Structure 1
Amino acid sequence: MSQEAGHGHYYVPAPSTYPMTGAIALLFMGFGAAFSVNRLPIGYGLLTIGFAILFYMCFVWFRTVARESESGKFSAQVGQSFRWGMTWFIFSEVMFFAAFFGALYYMRIYSVPWLADLEHKVLWPDFTGDWPTAGPGIREKFMPMGPWGLPAINTLILLTSGVTVTWAHWALKLNKRGQLKLGLFLTFALGFLFVGLQAYEYGHAYSDLNLKLTTGAYGASFYMLTGFHGFHVTLGSIMLLVIWFRVMAGHFTPENHFGFEGVAWYWHFVDVVWLGLFIFVYWLV
């Protein structure tokens, strides 16, 4: 069923091979990851093939959806579906990070003090239960990551990117294409800069602070929270880059631009999560 948006019908695309293509990519990536972990040379080749197929699938699928949007096939009802879909997606991401923040809270407030009480002194007599800690039984020394320096700089970078994407959004609403292009460019550039600085921070943590993923409770929570957030920043930056290419191609109008708006929602979510990370992971050590 493919009706024009002007008649108020809900556009349903024709059957697609893209989901099957994505499944094939994940099959290659799964076997590639398994072989790579076991140090079999074929694994790296399979991973490369899998990522190449996945990149191809994303490119042609996104291109198809963009063409459908620009051709006027999406009615207001389809747009409402997109908004609900993005809303529930971001909600699921909120719950994802809430689980990790909850685990950090439980460790700091309950499990670590519990392991240091009198009942457990026989097992770990030298364990005090102070945070940050790797946990009882782990003797390797490490230094926690402080809030100032790179973490503070990255906080400023993400807050600035939130301002630039909002500037770009208002420029789009006012049909100021030059400001829109510049604001979007600054936003994804700041996002990639954030990821680069976080990679440098990880190198510093490993080499200078002896802070690793294997450093017990603190190391695991630090890298899981900041690592997943870094992945989301990377994904968001790629999404912004795609939207920028669409803007350069003349896509989006002040009246019809949910593709831009949905990515902006996601980027603001990434900003808010980082503020929580900065406070509870870096500052309140």
Structure 2
Amino acid sequence: MSQSEQQAYYVPHDSRWPVFGVPGMVLLAAGFSGYLNGAGWGMPLMVVGAIITLIMTVMWFRDVIHESVAGKYNTQVDISFRQGMAWFIFSEVMFFGAFFGALFYARVFSIPWLGGEDPATSRFLWDSVTLSWPTAGPGEMFRALEFTPMGAWALPTINTLILLTSGVTLTIAHHAIKENHRKKVIWGLAATVALGALFMSVQIYEYIYAYTDLNLRLDTGIYGSVFFMLTGFHGVHVTIGAIALLVILFRVIRGHFTPDNHFGFEAAAWYWHFVDVVWLLLYVVVYLL
């Protein structure tokens, strides 16, 4: 590649995938909305939209991988990829920040206000209302909803150790790819994906335990809503990250990366470490405090 080609910015050919994917995402969102509101057409429409969106995602990433392997990307494109991934992770920080903010507001402001700690608001409350976190809200007085909050021991602590270990195995694989130790990269990535799958298995068991033994459900007032919202969305991100790392593992096996050119690996690693950090915050704020 000449000097001028190195400095030129690669412009891909016209892609059909944005046009193909937009209807899929619209159908997915509309179907999900209909399903939540009890519409019979909601689930079928959501499934069709999910299938179209999945096809679009897989095929679009396939094209990007083919372009990368063909050597069409240069330093300019690499910088754009890094900036794009950084902004994507920033958007994810804001995504979880909104949910942590909802938890903070409920615990620090709403519950004390509704519990009558503020004399200015206590006269507007029902008689004998006493609230303290964790709570299902004032409505529990009338429907006698009793639940046990999820403690930090033992399942969440086990999952924390699993996810922290996966961060270590991924870091080992990252150093190995820089040193061109391909077998070590493969083993490190395989261990990380396996630990991610184990994490999700433990979380599924935790949810079953919450529903059957603790009476902790999605409709258990503010506590249940916030608990499943935060841990559930994090579980979705763990699943996405594990799938991304699995794809990277297959690419490593096929010899796609070099010590100097492996941003696909780095992007997936950034995402996984972000997921680790979010879980540590979840563990402290949701389970310990």
- 1:126 alignment partner in structure 2: 128
- 1:86 alignment partner in structure 2: 85
Does residue 1:266 correspond to 2:268, yes or no?
Answer: no
Alignment map for 1:45-84 (pairs within 5 Å): 45-84=44-83
- 1:105 aligned counterpart, secondary structure: helix
Q: CA deviation at 1:4?
A: 9.2
- 1:202 alignment partner in structure 2: 207
Q: CA deviation at 1:94?
A: 0.8
- 1:69 aligned counterpart, secondary structure: helix
Q: Which moved more, 1:227-236 or 1:19-28?
A: 19-28
Q: Cα distance 1:36–1:143, how it changes in 2: closer, same or farther (>3 A)?
A: same
Q: Cα distance 1:115–1:47, how it changes in 2: closer, same or farther (>3 A)?
A: closer
Does residue 1:178 correspond to 2:183, yes or no?
Answer: yes
Aligned 8 A contact 2:148 2:214 in 1? yes
- Percent of aligned pairs sharing the same letter: 56
Q: Which moved more, 1:28-37 or 1:166-175?
A: 28-37
- 1:102 alignment partner in structure 2: 101
Which amino acid in 1 is paired with 2:126?
Answer: W
- 2:184 aligned counterpart, secondary structure: helix
Aligned 8 A contact 2:114 2:125 in 1? no
Which amino acid in 2 is paired with 1:252?
Answer: F
Q: Deviations over 1:43-86 (max 9, x none)?
A: 54444433333222222211110111111111111101111111
Q: Deviations over 1:213-252 (max 9, x none)?
A: 1111111111111111111111111111111111111111
Q: CA deviation at 1:196?
A: 1.8
Which amino acid in 1 is paired with 2:92?
Answer: E
C-alpha distance in structure 1 between counterparts of 2:114 and 2:34, whole Å: 39
Q: Cα distance 1:246–1:143, how it changes in 2: closer, same or farther (>3 A)?
A: same
Normalised by the length of structure 2, the TM-score is 0.91
C-alpha distance in structure 2 between counterparts of 1:223 and 1:257, whole Å: 36
What root-mean-square deviation, in Å, do the aligned CA atoms of Structure 1 and Structure 2 show?
1.9
C-alpha distance in structure 1 between counterparts of 2:221 and 2:47, whole Å: 32
Which of 119, 134, 137 lines up with 1:135 in the alignment?
137
Q: Cα distance 1:232–1:4, how it changes in 2: closer, same or farther (>3 A)?
A: farther
Which amino acid in 2 is paired with 1:223?
Answer: F
Aligned 8 A contact 1:191 1:233 in 2? yes
Q: Which moved more, 1:257-266 or 1:20-29?
A: 20-29
Provide structure 1 residue ranges, at least 5 long, that are not aligned to the other structure.
none
Alignment map for 1:227-266 (pairs within 5 Å): 227-266=232-271
C-alpha distance in structure 2 between counterparts of 1:34 and 1:109, whole Å: 31
Which of 192, 201, 206 lines up with 2:197 in the alignment?
192
Q: CA deviation at 1:29?
A: 2.7
Aligned 8 A contact 2:6 2:75 in 1? no
Aligned 8 A contact 2:89 2:274 in 1? yes
Which amino acid in 1 is paired with 2:8?
Answer: H
- 1:24 alignment partner in structure 2: 23
Q: CA deviation at 1:180?
A: 0.3
Aligned 8 A contact 2:166 2:195 in 1? yes
Does residue 1:222 correspond to 2:221, yes or no?
Answer: no
Which of 129, 135, 149 lines up with 1:144 in the alignment?
149
Work out the number of aligned pairs and report it: 281
Normalised by the length of structure 1, the TM-score is 0.92
